[in-house]
C-alpha cells in the first residue's frame, strides 16, 4: 500500500500509463460523434445527407405510410388521401405552423404553440379504408350480410371529430358507441344528423338514468342497442322499457376465455373487468324469455383487448364469440349483429411485429378478412344466418388524423471535460486514502478499456467523495472535479456521445399522458431540417416541475432521439423556420386529449383543422381555436379569475399607485395582470429572449403590440378585463 500511495501522491512520478491518461494520449479512443452512427443507420457510404436518410432513420415509411412522408425541402408532409394523394396535394406541416403562429398583422392566425393539427381528410380516408377492407373481404368470401362499424367516442370526444365521423360515415351507416351518460348524450345529438340505420351502441356500467336515456333515444328513432355489462342491468331494462312503452334492442357482452398478453390485454379473459360469463348469459336469456322480450336480444358483443397483435389471436376470439352467438340464436334470441369490439391495432414503431404493444403484424385487409372468415366458418357450420359484423375501432380511425407540434426552446449539452483539462493533482488533494486508491484503479481500468470495472470504481469514488463532502472534509471544487473525471472516463470507455436534454414547450401530462401513465411510446420526429444530418442525440424535458415530465424512450427501443443542433447551440440551418426547432408527435389522435390533465395548470394546446386545398399552399385552415388560457385552467380547479384579478388590482393600487406622476405605469401594470389571465400558460418563445423589454420603467411585455395595447388603449379596468375574456 505505501508504494501505491506514493504513486498516487506524487503526480510527477505517476506511472507512464497514468501520465498518458492525464495528458490525453492520442492512443486512447475518442468519443464517436452521433453523426457517424446515424450515417451507418441510413447509408454508411454516403457523405451527403438527404431526406431519404432521415425517413429511414426515423422509420417514417414504417409507421407513417401512407399518410406521412418527407419532401425535398426536408419537411414532413401530410398525404391527406393516403395512397391516392397526388404530389401537389401534400400538405407541408412547417407551412401550417408558420400560418398558425405568425402574427395577424402579417397574415397569420396569431396562435401559440403547442399545437394540435387535425386533418379531417385523413379521418375520412381511415373510415373509407376500413369500410372498403370489410366490403372487399365480404365479397371475396361470399359473406351474406354486411359490415357496419361504430366509433367509440371515448377515444376522442372532441365535438368536431365526432361530428366529422358521423358525416363521413353516413354513406355506409357508420354509428357511435357510448360508455357513459355524457357520451350517450353527445352521441344522441350527433346521430340526429347521421344515417338513420347507424347503430348507437350503449356500453359501460348503467344506472336507471342511463337506461332511460338509451330507451328515449330509441323512442327518438335512433338505432339504439343497450349492451348489458352486468347481469343486474337486465332488470332495469325490463322495468323501464315497460314504463316507457318502448320495445328495447338488447345486446350482451360476453366474457370470453380468449385473451392476449401485455398491457392492452389485461382487461380480457375470464377475469376481465367487463362482460357476462356463460352462466350469467343463460340467466339473462331466461329473464328475457319470462318477460316476453327474448326477441329483443339481437346483439352479441365482446372485446379481447386493444392492439390485438396478430390475426391468429383475433380469429381465436371471433370463433369463440361466434359460437356463443350461434347458441343464443338456437335458444330463440332474434340475433342480428355480432360486435367484435375494438382491438384493430396500429403500428406505432413501424416494425410490423406481432410481439409488441407498439405494433401489429397485419393491415386493414388482413384484419377484415380474418374476422369475416371466422364468423362465416362458425355460422355455416351451425346453419345460422350470417350476422351484421360491427366493430368498435377507435384507435385505428382517429390516431393518424392528429399531429401534436411543439417547440424545443433550448438544449443542455453534456459538460464532460476534455482530457487535457483533468487536473489530477488537484483532484487527489484532500481525498481520503480509499478514494485515492479508487481514483488510481479507475484510471488503470480505463487504460485497459475494462468498461464494467470502470463503472464500479467510478461509483465507489463518487460515493466516497460525496461522503467526504457531507462531512465537510472535501470542497465543492474537488467534488465537481471528481464528477468531471468520472464522466470523462465513462465517455472514453463508452465511446459514445452523451445525450443532451432538449427543453420543450409542452406538458407531457397534458398532451402525452399515456407515455407517463402506461409507457405508451409514440413516434416523435423533427418536422423540418430532415435534409440535414442530425448531430446529436437527445431526450425531451417538458415545462412541468416534475421529474416524470420527460421523454426518454422512443420507438425502436431507443433511449434518446436523433436531433439537430439549435441556433446558437450547435447550429445548423433553420430550415425556413426562423431559427426555431419544431418537433411533431404522431399517431396520438386517440385518448391523449381525453386523458390529459392540468398538472402545473398547463392546459391543452391550440387546435387547428386543416383541409387539402388547390391553392398555392395546398391547404386551408377551416377551424382554429387557441388553447385554454390561464383563467380557463384556474376555473377547472374551482378558482375565480375575476375575483383574483380584483384582489391583485387593489393590491397594485395600494403598493404601486402612490406615484401620482406615473399613472400610465399603474394602468399598464393592471392591464398586464389582466392579460396574464387571458394568455395561455405555455411560454412565449421569441428570439433572442423569451420576452422583449419595452422601455416602460422596467415592465416587460411579450411584444410591441402587447405593449402598445397596454399603455396606449386608454381602456378602463372593466374593458381590460373584458378583453381578457373576449
Rounded Cα distance between 660 and 666, Å, is 9
Rounded Cα distance between 585 and 587, Å, is 7
Among 407, 509, 403, residue whose Cα is nearest residue 112: 407
Q: Under DSSP, is residue 555 helix (H, G, I), strand (E, B) or coil?
A: helix
Residue with cell 361466434: 322
Question: Does a cis peptide bond (omega within 30 degrees of 0) precede residue 114?
Answer: yes
Q: Which residues of 601-717 form beta strands (DSSP E)?
A: 606-612, 619-625, 692-693, 700-701
**Residues 342 and 268 sit within 8 Å (Cβ to Cβ):** no
Going from the C-alpha of 154 to that of each of 177, 205, 466, 685, the distances in angstroms are: 8, 14, 51, 34
Asked if 702 is an active-site residue, the reply is no
Ramachandran bin of 274, using left for φ above 0, alpha for ψ from -120 to 50, beta for the remaining angles: beta
Rounded Cα distance between 398 and 43, Å, is 34
Question: Which is the catalytic residue, given 202, 379, 390, 545?
Answer: 545
Going from the C-alpha of 342 to that of each of 25, 416, 432, 588, the distances in angstroms are: 61, 50, 63, 17
**Residues 216 and 262 sit within 8 Å (Cβ to Cβ):** no
Cell numbers of 256, please? 370470453
Rounded Cα distance between 191 and 451, Å, is 64
Q: Under DSSP, is residue 406 helix (H, G, I), strand (E, B) or coil?
A: strand
Rounded Cα distance between 110 and 97, Å, is 10
Going from the C-alpha of 117 to that of each of 77, 92, 400, 529, 589, the distances in angstroms are: 12, 12, 11, 19, 10
Residue with cell 384579478: 645
Q: Under DSSP, is residue 49 helix (H, G, I), strand (E, B) or coil?
A: coil
Residue 632, judged by CB atoms within 10 A of its CB (0-12, 13-18, 19+), counts as buried
Q: Under DSSP, is residue 33 helix (H, G, I), strand (E, B) or coil?
A: coil
Q: Which residues contact 190 (CB under 8 A, 6 or more apart)?
A: 162, 163, 166, 176
Residues known to be catalytic: 545
Amino acid at each position: 500500500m505505501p508504494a501505491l500511495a506514493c504513486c498516487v501522491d506524487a503526480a510527477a512520478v505517476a506511472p507512464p500509463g497514468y501520465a498518458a491518461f492525464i495528458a490525453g494520449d492520442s492512443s486512447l479512443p475518442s468519443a464517436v460523434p452521433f453523426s457517424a452512427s446515424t450515417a451507418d443507420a441510413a447509408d454508411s457510404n454516403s457523405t451527403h445527407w438527404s431526406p431519404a436518410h432521415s425517413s429511414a432513420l426515423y422509420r417514417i415509411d414504417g409507421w407513417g405510410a401512407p399518410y406521412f412522408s418527407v419532401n425535398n425541402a426536408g419537411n414532413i408532409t401530410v398525404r391527406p388521401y393516403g395512397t391516392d394523394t397526388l404530389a401537389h396535394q401534400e400538405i407541408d406541416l412547417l407551412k401550417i405552423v408558420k400560418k398558425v403562429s405568425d402574427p395577424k398583422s402579417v397574415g397569420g392566425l396569431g396562435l401559440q404553440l403547442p399545437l394540435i393539427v387535425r386533418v379531417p381528410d385523413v379521418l375520412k380516408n381511415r373510415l373509407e379504408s376500413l369500410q372498403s377492407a370489410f366490403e372487399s373481404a365480404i365479397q371475396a368470401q361470399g359473406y351474406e350480410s354486411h359490415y357496419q362499424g361504430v366509433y367509440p367516442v371515448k377515444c376522442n370526444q372532441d365535438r368536431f371529430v365526432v361530428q366529422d365521423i358521423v358525416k363521413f360515415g353516413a354513406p355506409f351507416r357508420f354509428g357511435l358507441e357510448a360508455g357513459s351518460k355524457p357520451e350517450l348524450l353527445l352521441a344522441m345529438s350527433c346521430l340526429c344528423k347521421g344515417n338513420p340505420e347507424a347503430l348507437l351502441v350503449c356500453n359501460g356500467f348503467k344506472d336507471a338514468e342511463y337506461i332511460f336515456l338509451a330507451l328515449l333515444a330509441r323512442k327518438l328513432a335512433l338505432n339504439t342497442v343497450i349492451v348489458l355489462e352486468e347481469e343486474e342491468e337486465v332488470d332495469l331494462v325490463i322495468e323501464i322499457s315497460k314504463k316507457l312503452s318502448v320495445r328495447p334492442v338488447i345486446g350482451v357482452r360476453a366474457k370470453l376465455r380468449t385473451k392476449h398478453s401485455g398491457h392492452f390485454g389485461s382487461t380480457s379473459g375470464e377475469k376481465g373487468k367487463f362482460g357476462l360469463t356463460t352462466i350469467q348469459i343463460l340467466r339473462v336469456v331466461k329473464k328475457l324469455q319470462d318477460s316476453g322480450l327474448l326477441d329483443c336480444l339481437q346483439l352479441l358483443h365482446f372485446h379481447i383487448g386493444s392492439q390485438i397483435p396478430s390475426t391468429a389471436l383475433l380469429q381465436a376470439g371471433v370463433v369463440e364469440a361466434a359460437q356463443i352467438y350461434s347458441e343464443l340464436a338456437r335458444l330463440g334470441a332474434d340475433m342480428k349483429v355480432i360486435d367484435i369490439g375494438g382491438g384493430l391495432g396500429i403500428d406505432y414503431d413501424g416494425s410490423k411485429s406481432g410481439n409488441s404493444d407498439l405494433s401489429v403484424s397485419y393491415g386493414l385487409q388482413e384484419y377484415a378478412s380474418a374476422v369475416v372468415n371466422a364468423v362465416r366458418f362458425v355460422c355455416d357450420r351451425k346453419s345460422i344466418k350470417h350476422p351484421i359484423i360491427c366493430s368498435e375501432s377507435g384507435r385505428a380511425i382517429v390516431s393518424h388524423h392528429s399531429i401534436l407540434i411543439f417547440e424545443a426552446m433550448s438544449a443542455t449539452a453534456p459538460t464532460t471535460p476534455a482530457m487535457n483539462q483533468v487536473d489530477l493533482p488537484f483532484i487527489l488533494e484532500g481525498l481520503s486514502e480509499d478514494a485515492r486508491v479508487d481514483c488510481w484503479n479507475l484510471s488503470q481500468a480505463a487504460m485497459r478499456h475494462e468498461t464494467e470495472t470502470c463503472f464500479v470504481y467510478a461509483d465507489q469514488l463518487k460515493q466516497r467523495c460525496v461522503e467526504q463532502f457531507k462531512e465537510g472534509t472535501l470542497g465543492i471544487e474537488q467534488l465537481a472535479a471528481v464528477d468531471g473525471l468520472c464522466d470523462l472516463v465513462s465517455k472514453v470507455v463508452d465511446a459514445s456521445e452523451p445525450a443532451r436534454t432538449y427543453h420543450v414547450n409542452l406538458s407531457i401530462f397534458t398532451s402525452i399522458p399515456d407515455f407517463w401513465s402506461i409507457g405508451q411510446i409514440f413516434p416523435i420526429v423533427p418536422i423540418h431540417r430532415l435534409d440535414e444530418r442530425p448531430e446529436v442525440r437527445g431526450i425531451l424535458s417538458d415545462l412541468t416541475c416534475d421529474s416524470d415530465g420527460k421523454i426518454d424512450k422512443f420507438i425502436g427501443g431507443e433511449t434518446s432521439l436523433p436531433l439537430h443542433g439549435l441556433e446558437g447551440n450547435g447550429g445548423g440551418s433553420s430550415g425556413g423556420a426562423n431559427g426555431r426547432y419544431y418537433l411533431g408527435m404522431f399517431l396520438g389522435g386517440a385518448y391523449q386529449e381525453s386523458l390529459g390533465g392540468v398538472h402545473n395548470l398547463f392546459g391543452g394546446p391550440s387546435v387547428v383543422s386543416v383541409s387539402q386545398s388547390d391553392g398555392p399552399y395546398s391547404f386551408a385552415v377551416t377551424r382554429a381555436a387557441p388553447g385554454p388560457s390561464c383563467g380557463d385552467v384556474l376555473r377547472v380547479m374551482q378558482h375565480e379569475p375575476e375575483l383574483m384579478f380584483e384582489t391583485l388590482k387593489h393590491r397594485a393600487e395600494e403598493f404601486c399607485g402612490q406615484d401620482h406622476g406615473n399613472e400610465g405605469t399603474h394602468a399598464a401594470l393592471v392591464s398586464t395582470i389582466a392579460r396574464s389571465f387571458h394568455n395561455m400558460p405555455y411560454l412565449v418563445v421569441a428570439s433572442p429572449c423569451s420576452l422583449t423589454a419595452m422601455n416602460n420603467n422596467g415592465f416587460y411585455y411579450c411584444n410591441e403590440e402587447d405593449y402598445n395595447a397596454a399603455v396606449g388603449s386608454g381602456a378602463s379596468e372593466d374593458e381590460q378585463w373584458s378583453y381578457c375574456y373576449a
